[in-house]
Amino acid sequence: MSDRDGRKVSVFALNYGLCQKYALEFGRPQGKREFRTYFIERVFDYTPLLQRYMERNQEIICEGCGAKYALEHLPALRFFNMKCRECTDGICRVINLSKRYEPVLQSIDQSLLLPPTELGILQTLHSEGKPLFAAEIASELDCSYQLVGRRGRFLSDRGLVDRKENDTGRRVYELTNAAEESYFSHQEESKIDIDKE
């Protein structure tokens, strides 16, 4: 579509299935034109946000001399078949910064990583901040309470979750301090600085 400034823009919408699940109306409203074109207002223009994200997570580097280019130089580089302006022999490539850390990620012992269900249990307990029943966790993760019970036993054996019985004899799950420190503490030294070489 064209926005208020006459520029061609892409319009993104919520997932139709999510709208159906949560009974949200999907599509353009009926009635006056101003109600049908609200989504091209400048307030909904997230282009600068997306550009900043791409600039932080991608870089253009010459394979020959190692020269780096800003993202705004990409159209000019493409016009000249990605030839490097510095050495004129090398070819420039757009590299996602996650590739830089690929050796570090590959060196992690896969047996130490938790599967998605276990991580989901930990995340649910952390976000709720209180002990929960298996059925409550299961409703958040969209799985059965039996699965939460089995995986909760595994997490308990690893010292990440406390499984206790309440006054009525029902089992309650609570995050341990070890899990809180290992998975949810925001330590500065654990952050990856993508601005450094």
Q: Enter the pTM of the model.
A: 0.47
pLDDT band at 5 (very low <50, low <70, confident <90, very high): confident
pLDDT at residue 85 is higher than 80: yes
pLDDT digits over 30-79, tens only?
Answer: 766 666 666 666 777 777 787 777 777 788 889 889 888 888 888 888 89
pLDDT band at 86 (very low <50, low <70, confident <90, very high): confident
Domains identified in the chain and CATH numbers: 1-45 (no CATH), 56-99 (no CATH), 111-184 (1.10.10.10)
Secondary structure (DSSP) of the chain:
-B-TTS-B-------HHHHHHTT---SPPSSSHHHHSGGGSGGG--HHHHHHHHHHHEEEEETTT--EE-GGGHHHHHHTTTB-TTTSSSBEEEEEGGGTTHHHHHTS-GGGSPPHHHHHHHHHHHHH-S-EEHHHHHHHHTS-HHHHHHHHHHHHHTTSEEEEE-TTS-EEEEE-HHHHHHHH---GGGS--TT--
User: Which of the given ranges, 15-24, 174-183, 185-194, has the highest pLDDT on average?
Assistant: 174-183
pLDDT at 121: 93
CA neighbor of 135 nearest in space, from 173, 169, 165: 173
- Ramachandran angles phi, psi of 164, nearest 5°: -125, 160
Determine how β-strand 171-175 pairs with β-strand 68-69.
unpaired
pLDDT at residue 148 is higher than 90: yes
pLDDT at 171: 92
